[in-house]
Each structure stands twice: as structure tokens, then as C-alpha cells.
């Protein structure tokens, strides 16, 4: 489809839940069961009273799940199947596949999907830098020249050339990483030497980003391999290609183009919507489009247009990881995380929701059809029936962004004031903790942070990452785990929907130091930082990798020797599977709050929760109770401290 085609693909209907689904008397109980945040609860009640269908309603209707699918023992990979391993004589698929093979192949598929999603995002960001540097997309200029130079040196480029020439060469060098023939990724050299050598010896260092994903997809074909250990190893290698390749490129080049986040104040939760302004939410992942919408909305002519329709201005709010990117860099308010996306529309005050890709409910246009909201889709990869498609490329992004803002302004008149419900108490948060901003805050080096850990004032560090999942009360896993960890003097770094959850709970305010243990609380008060640090979006989990690598390098140890851990208490996405695998592959053990679909294979469970430790010195735990997960992570951190003689 050409760039200028903008079409309503199809008209969709508002899907309403049947009146008997949740009767008014059941609303308070259901709301308590589903959510924690006061504003979320308020709007959630509105969905129930108005019969607007949400993810929770659909989840309930899907129960009980298929036991074979849930345990990972069903296979649909070829036309001889589908097959299910049911025991009692049905212990192999038609081709002869065992339960271990079927379960491990399904998991490899998930890891490859996650790695591909992140890495494709990273590729688009690098392509945008290339086009910007060549003058083909002039709105994209280098914003952080210092970071460009650091990366250029890392890639062996001549830093004396003009900025755009360096940017062009860096973009080319990074795009080369996707199919490089040099046999390894440049940024994998950031790994501490001990970790790098361990991965090399185990044959787990990715050869190129795309190659490992393609090989993973090759290996899930029938009759390629039958050893579940060998299959899972490829999952770890493809995921490492995401962590130290695709996602890292996404983060680093986004910083070059749009600025490396600095520490700043922000506001979060549904209350950031404004009653008297044109509200536009930016949902998805890639900052390439959303940054242009921010610029378009700031144009004086747009403000005038908004005033002409009776609004006081244009209010941009973020959702999910696009929101995190904008909050970290520009301080754009964040309306919510994954399970809030339908609620933002249900406030009745949203003129447009602009989306790119990943984590966008396919039914969002149906939700929007219950109100006046326009859903605008923008990526040729992600067209959604019922969305207004306005194709965005680096060349046309700013012009398209202006049209999107105008469309939202034009839609303001269709708002039904009688149906508007905006919760009235937003939450403050201190955000923007990139490795660079942390270093700057600590006087130019992470050494003071390492010293605090070595002295025991901070016992260790845990990265809480990942999604929401209707299997778990909204945000309960993230908030409970974070509170339990900081209480034990463990500093928490967060990304993705986990970060939004804890920001909304007030854990990213400096005064949250009072919820931390005594020594961590004192450290936070002396530095003026919260005990839970927002490090960005899901691709920005690479900031956590870089933080761990830098601390390990400073300490002269491998990453797995550090008193650190990871957790994904409410994960749902295959991207989270890849993140978990690259954390573990890099030496950071991870606690999962939701069981992956592997329970049908005790061997696969053992491999992930025990045997992996013999290869990469890290492993997974599965612990749905966040209080127990905190205890596991604390014990792990104390063990690591003891092993270091601390």
C-alpha cells in the first residue's frame, strides 16, 4: 500500500457484555478481584455498568483452558497432526515426537517470536537513523551526539568525520548485525570477560541477530532435531541475540535520535487525561512515530486549532512501552499499562489512540466503537480492522503525525460529556534512570553504587520487568514484589508495564524511601532517588543488561557472581520469554510469576530450573506468590554475597 493511502478498513461494532454477565450488585466485588489502583477500579466499574467488554471478561469466558495447550503438550507443526501427548499409549506424536520435544519446540517458538519482535523494532529504529543521516527523513536528526560518538568508537568508526556521516556509518554497522558474517555481535563484547568466555565455550554467543531467529524457526520444523536440551539452547542463543543485539540497537539508537533519558519528574495513571483538552494516547512500542506526534502537537497552529473547537489544548498521554519511551525522554504523562488500554478509551475522554505494534488488543477498535474514540493504525505490519490506517514511514512521519493530531482535534466535538469519567488523582513519579543518568548522578561512574552494594547498605539489585496478565490481579505481582524487595534493602530497577504499575503505586516517588529497609532508605534519601527506578520500555531491558555488565566489570567478576536477580511477576508476552532467557543467559536468575506452558515435560522444567545453572550459572524459578518470590530472590542475593565473601 502506498504511503498516502488512508482508509477506514472496516466498520466494527461496540461489543457489549450481556447484562447478566456482571449485574450491578456484583460490580464492587468484581472490581476488587480484578484491580488495585483506585482510578483503574473506578473506570473498570464503568466498563461493567455500561457493559463495555474488557480483557477480563474475555479471560473469564476462555476458562477453563485446554489442559493440553496449557501444559505445552499439543503440537500443530505439520499436517500429520495436530497431536497431543495424553499418556496411556498416546506418548508420541504421529511423527514420533516425545513430550519433551513438543514442549521444548513450543517454547523455542515463543523465544524466537519474542526475539524477532524486539529485533524488528530495533531494525526500524536503525533504518530511521540511516534515512535521517542521509537527509531522506530530515525530521530525524542526531539529538545525543555524545552517545553517537561513544557508539561510533565501539564500532571502530572514525569519529572525526561530520556527525551525519558518522551516524550513517553507525546505522549501517548496526544494520549489519542482523545478518553479519563476522560471527558475533559487536555489543556482546560489553559482557564481562568471564561471562563472554562462558557463553563462547557453551556455544551460546549469537552469530547474528536474524540468523539465530531463522535457525530457531528452522529447528521447530518436524524432523530437524529431537534433543530438547539442544533445542532450548538455541532459544537462549536467539534470545541473547535480542538482548545484546536487536533490543540493544533499539535502545541505543533511540537515545541517539531522541535523547538519552535524564532524571525527571512525571505523572502517571488514568487521571492524566484532561477534561478540557483534546486527549490523544500513544500506544505500542517504537518511539519513531510517537516522537513526531509530540512535535506535531507542540506546533502553535495545532493549539489554535484545538482552541477553535473549544478545547484548552492538546494533551498527549502514553500507554505501555511507547508511553515509557516518552515518559523517560520527554516527561509525557503515562496513562497506564497493558490492562489499562481499554480503560483509557472507557473514560469517554479520548479523542484518538495512535498505535504502532505489539501488545495492542485486536479488539481495541470495538472498544473505541462504544465511544467516540478513533483508533489510528500506522504500521504496514499492524493493520487492525476498524482502525483508521495512516501509514507512517520515516520520510512522512511528521506530516502524518500532524494529520493524526488534526483528526483528534476534529473528533473533540463528538465527545459525550455525560459519559466522561476521569479519575481525579494523578501520581507523581521520578523517572529517567538510564545507565548514563545514573552514572551522572553518582559523579560520573557507577562505582559508588557498587560500593554501596559491597558494603551491604544495598543488599543487591533486582530487575522487575514485563507485562500484565489477567490471570493475576492487575499490578498486584509487581507492586507486592517491589515492596517486599525494597523492605529487604534490595534496590529495584524496572521497565515495561512493571514500571508503570509501581509508578502508579507511588513507589517511584523519593518519599517511597520510607517503605524501604533502613539502609536502602537512607541511601535513597541521601541521593534523592526512589528505591524503585524506572529504566524504560521493554527493549530498554538492555539498560539493565548494561548496568549489570558495568557493575560486574567494575567488580572484576562475571554477571552471575553479582548479588542480582530478575523477575517477571505478571508476564504474558513471548517477548518476556525472550527477555527472561537473555537475562538467564547473561547470568541473571529470573523468577516468573506465571508458569510457562511447559508443565507437561518434567525434563524441560528441570532443564530451565536446575540444569541451566550448570551451563550459564543462572536459572529460572516459577513462583506465583510475589511474597514467596521476594524470599527466593533475597536468599539468592544473600547466597551470592556470601560467595563473594561479603
**Cα separation, 208 vs 42, whole angstroms:** 48
Of 22, 31, 97, 524, which one interacts with ligand SF4 (CB under 6 A)? 97
Residue 311 interacts with ligand SF4 (CB under 6 A): yes or no: no
Beta strand segments in 156-277, E: 264-268
Give, as ranges, the residues between 332 and 391 that touch ligand SF4 (CB under 6 A): 337-338, 359
Q: Which range touches ligand SF4 (CB under 6 A), out of 177-185, 189-197, 572-580, 620-628?
A: 572-580
Grid cell in block for residue 465? 520487568
Smallest separation, CB 77 to ligand SF4 (Å)? 4
Give the residue among 265, 287, 405, 261 at the shortest CA–CA distance from 333: 265
* Phi/psi at 568 (5° precision): -130, 80
C-alpha cell at 348: 469517554
The smaller minimum CB distance to ligand SF4, of residues 411 and 573, is found at 573
For ligand SF4, the closer CB: 188 or 533 = 533
Q: Yes or no: say if 477 and 593 are a contact pair by the CB < 8 Å rule.
A: yes
Q: Which of 72, 93, 477, 536 binds ligand SF4 (CB under 6 A)?
A: 93
Q: Contact between 80 and ligand SF4 (CB under 6 A)? A: yes
As a 3-state breakdown, the chain gives helix, strand, coil percent values, each rounded to 5, of 50, 10, 35
Prior bond of 64 cis (ω within 30°): yes
The dihedral formed by the CA atoms of 321, 593, 428 and 297, expressed in degrees to the nearest 10:
10
Of 131, 3, 6, whose CA–CA distance to 406 is shortest? 6
Nearest distance, CB of residue 146 and ligand SF4, angstroms: 28
The CA-based diameter of the chain, rounded to the nearest angstrom, is: 73
Cα distances (angstroms) measured from residue 476 to each of 32, 59, 498: 11, 17, 10
Least distance from ligand SF4 to the Cβ atom of residue 464, Å: 11
Q: What is the closest distance, in whole angstroms, from the C-beta atom of residue 16 to ligand SF4 in the complex?
A: 25
Residues 574-613, one symbol each (x = binds ligand SF4 by CB under 6 A, - = not), give -xx-------------------------------------
Which listed residue (241, 463, 466, 536) binds ligand SF4 by CB under 6 A? 466
Interacting stretch for ligand SF4, rule CB under 6 A, among 76-84, 426-434, 503-511, 515-523?
A: 76-84
d(Cα 36, Cα 203) in Å, to the nearest integer? 45
C-alpha–C-alpha distance, residues 84 and 90, integer Å: 8
Pick one of 28, 82, 179, 456: the residue that binds ligand SF4 (CB under 6 A): 82
Provide the minimum distance between the beta carbon of 496 and ligand SF4 in the complex, in angstroms, as a whole number: 3
Contact residue for ligand SF4 among 51, 81, 262, 385 (CB under 6 A): 81
Q: State the sign of the Cα–Cα–Cα–Cα dihedral 620, 624, 628, 630.
A: positive
320 binds ligand SF4 (CB under 6 A): yes
Judged by CB under 6 A, which stretch of 74-82, 304-312, 554-562, 596-604 contacts ligand SF4?
Answer: 74-82
Stretch that binds ligand SF4, among 142-150, 168-176, 286-294, 573-581 (CB under 6 A): 573-581
- Which are the contacts of 10, defined by CB distance < 8 A and separation ≥ 6? 385, 386
Q: Using CB under 6 A, list all residues that contact ligand SF4.
A: 75-78, 80-83, 93-95, 97, 102, 222, 320-321, 337-338, 359, 466-467, 496-497, 538, 573, 575-576
Amino acid at each position: 500500500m502506498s504511503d498516502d493511502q488512508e482508509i477506514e478498513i472496516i466498520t466494527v461494532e461496540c461489543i457489549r457484555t450481556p447484562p447478566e454477565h456482571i449485574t450491578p450488585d456484583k460490580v464492587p466485588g468484581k472490581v476488587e478481584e480484578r484491580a488495585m489502583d483506585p482510578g483503574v477500579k473506578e473506570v473498570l466499574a464503568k466498563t461493567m455498568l455500561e457493559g463495555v467488554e474488557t480483557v477480563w471478561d474475555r479471560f473469564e469466558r476462555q476458562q477453563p483452558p485446554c489442559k493440553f495447550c496449557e501444559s505445552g503438550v499439543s503440537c500443530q507443526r505439520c499436517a500429520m497432526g495436530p497431536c497431543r501427548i495424553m499418556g496411556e499409549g498416546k506418548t508420541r506424536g504421529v511423527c514420533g515426537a516425545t513430550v519433551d520435544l513438543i514442549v521444548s519446540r513450543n517454547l523455542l517458538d515463543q523465544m524466537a517470536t519474542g526475539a524477532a519482535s524486539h529485533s524488528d523494532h530495533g531494525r526500524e529504529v536503525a533504518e530511521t537513523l540511516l534515512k535521517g543521516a542521509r537527509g531522506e527523513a530530515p525530521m530525524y536528526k542526531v539529538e545525543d551526539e555524545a552517545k553517537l560518538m561513544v557508539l561510533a568508537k565501539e564500532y571502530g568508526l572514525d569519529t572525526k568525520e561530520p556527525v551525519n556521516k558518522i551516524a550513517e556509518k553507525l546505522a549501517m554497522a548496526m544494520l549489519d548485525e542482523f545478518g553479519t558474517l563476522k560471527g558475533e555481535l559487536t555489543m556482546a563484547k560489553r559482557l564481562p570477560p568471564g561471562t563472554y568466555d562462558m557463553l563462547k565455550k557453551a556455544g551460546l554467543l549469537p552469530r547474528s541477530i536474524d540468523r539465530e531467529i531463522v535457525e530457531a524457526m528452522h529447528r521447530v520444523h518436524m524432523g530437524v532435531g529431537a534433543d530438547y536440551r539442544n533445542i532450548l539452547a538455541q532459544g537462549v542463543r536467539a534470545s541473547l541475540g535480542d538482548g545484546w543485539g536487536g533490543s540493544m540497537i533499539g535502545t541505543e539508537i533511540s537515545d541517539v535520535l531522541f535523547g538519552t533519558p535524564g532524571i525527571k519528574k512525571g505523572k502517571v495513571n488514568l487521571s492524566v487525561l484532561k477534561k478540557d483538552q483534546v486527549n490523544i494516547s500513544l500506544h505500542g512500542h517504537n518511539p519513531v512515530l510517537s516522537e513526531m506526534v509530540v512535535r506535531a502537537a507542540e506546533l502553535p497552529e495545532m493549539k489554535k486549532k484545538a482552541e477553535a473547537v473549544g478545547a484548552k489544548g492538546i494533551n498527549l498521554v502514553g500507554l505501555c512501552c511507547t508511553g515509557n519511551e516518552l515518559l523517560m525522554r520527554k516527561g509525557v504523562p503515562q496513562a497506564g499499562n497493558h490492562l489499562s488500554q481499554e480503560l483509557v478509551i472507557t473514560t469517554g475522554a479520548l479523542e484518538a489512540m495512535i498505535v504502532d505494534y505489539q501488545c495492542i488488543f485486536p479488539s481495541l477498535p470495538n472498544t473505541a466503537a462504544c465511544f467516540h474514540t478513533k483508533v489510528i493504525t500506522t504500521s504496514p505490519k499492524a493493520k487492525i480492522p476498524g482502525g483508521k490506517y495512516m501509514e507512517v514511514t520515516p520520510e512522512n512521519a511528521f506530516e502524518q503525525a500532524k494529520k493524526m493530531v488534526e483528526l483528534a482535534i476534529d473528533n473533540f466535538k463528538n465527545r459525550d460529556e455525560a459519559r466522561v469519567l476521569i479519575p481525579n488523582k494523578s501520581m507523581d513519579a521520578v523517572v529517567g534512570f538510564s545507565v548514563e543518568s545514573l552514572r551522572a548522578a553518582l559523579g560520573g561512574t557507577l562505582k559508588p553504587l557498587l560500593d554501596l552494594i559491597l558494603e551491604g547498605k544495598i543488599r543487591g539489585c533486582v530487575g522487575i520487568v514485563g507485562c500484565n496478565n489477567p490471570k493475576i490481579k492487575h499490578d498486584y505481582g509487581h507492586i507486592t514484589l517491589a515492596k517486599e524487595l525494597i523492605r529487604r534493602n534490595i534496590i529495584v530497577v524496572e521497565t515495561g508495564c512493571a514500571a508503570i504499575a509501581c509508578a502508579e503505586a507511588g513507589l517511584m516517588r523519593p518519599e517511597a524511601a520510607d517503605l524501604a529497609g533502613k539502609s536502602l532508605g537512607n541511601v535513597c534519601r541521601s541521593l534523592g532517588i526512589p528505591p524503585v527506578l524506572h529504566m524504560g520500555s521493554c527493549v530498554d531491558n538492555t539498560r539493565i543488561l548494561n548496568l549489570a555488565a558495568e557493575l560486574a566489570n567494575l567488580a572484576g567478576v562475571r554477571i552471575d557472581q553479582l548479588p542480582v536477580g530478575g523477575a517477571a511477576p505478571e508476564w504474558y508476552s513471548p517477548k518476556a520469554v525472550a527477555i527472561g532467557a537473555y537475562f538467564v543467559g547473561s547470568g541473571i536468575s529470573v523468577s516468573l510469576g506465571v508458569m510457562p506452558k511447559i508443565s507437561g515435560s518434567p525434563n524441560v522444567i528441570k532443564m530451565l530450573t536446575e540444569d541451566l545453572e550448570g551451563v550459564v550459572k543462572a536459572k529460572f524459578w516459577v513462583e506465583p506468590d510475589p511474597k514467596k518470590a521476594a524470599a527466593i530472590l533475597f536468599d539468592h542475593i544473600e547466597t551470592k554475597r556470601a560467595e563473594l565473601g561479603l
